[in-house]
Amino acid sequence: MEEHQLIQDIEVSLSRYSAMLGRLDSENLLEQVGHMIARLTEFLNIQMEIQDEVVNFRLKKIIKEERPYIPQIRQERLGNGHRPNLGQTAQRFLQQRRELLKLLNSLPREYWDRTGFHETEGHITFREFIRRMVDKDQQVLQQLSQLSGPKH
């Protein structure tokens, strides 16, 4: 898959995230179902932590170093930080995605072919990490849709 298509796929995901999270905020779900808000907030926070790990300790490492070592994401370390409310979490999540798009759009083509050495999978290209993010976005969007309950 070409870089341009991957960037477009991330942009489409950002639009979908934005629409979905905007709808949640506008429906004033805080008054409707408190436990759902807590689940959504926790889910988004974990997604942000995973993206931080991928961007800061994988993608940026591949940009800065030649074939760096890339450890696995340790699931047990996720979900232990400060938890702002859903509105703040959603805004932070969307901003994080915008920053990723800015990074991707600024990269010269040759960086997309650079590799890191993943702890369990061996050599993985920058492009492959982004392709996996695109695939994961589809799963996350589906989970968000399920967590947010029925549409009105």
**CA distances (Å), 11 to each of 37, 41, 77, 91, in order?**
25, 22, 28, 16
Distance from C-alpha of 109 to C-alpha of 7, rounded to nearest angstrom:
12
- In this structure, are residues 59 and 126 in contact, taking their beta carbons and an 8 Å threshold? yes
Distance from C-alpha of 135 to C-alpha of 4, rounded to nearest angstrom:
16
Q: Check residues 36 and 141 and name the one with the higher pLDDT.
A: 141
Confidence at residue 82, expressed as pLDDT on a 0 to 100 scale: 62
Model-level pTM?
0.80
Is residue 152 in a domain? no
Confidence at residue 126, expressed as pLDDT on a 0 to 100 scale: 94
pLDDT interval class at 42 (50, 70, 90): confident
Confidence at residue 152, expressed as pLDDT on a 0 to 100 scale: 46
pLDDT, tens only, 45-92: 888 888 888 998 899 999 999 999 998 887 766 666 666 677 888 899
Q: Which CATH number fits the domain that encloses residue 128?
A: 1.20.120.450
Domain residues for 140?
3-147
pLDDT, tens only, 115-135: 999 999 999 999 999 999 999
Distance from C-alpha of 71 to C-alpha of 116, rounded to nearest angstrom:
10
Is residue 127 in a domain? yes
Confidence at residue 89, expressed as pLDDT on a 0 to 100 scale: 86
Q: φ, ψ for residue 65 (rounded to 5)?
A: -125, 155
Q: Based on the structure, what is the number of domains in the chain? A: 1
Mean predicted lDDT score pLDDT of the chain: 84
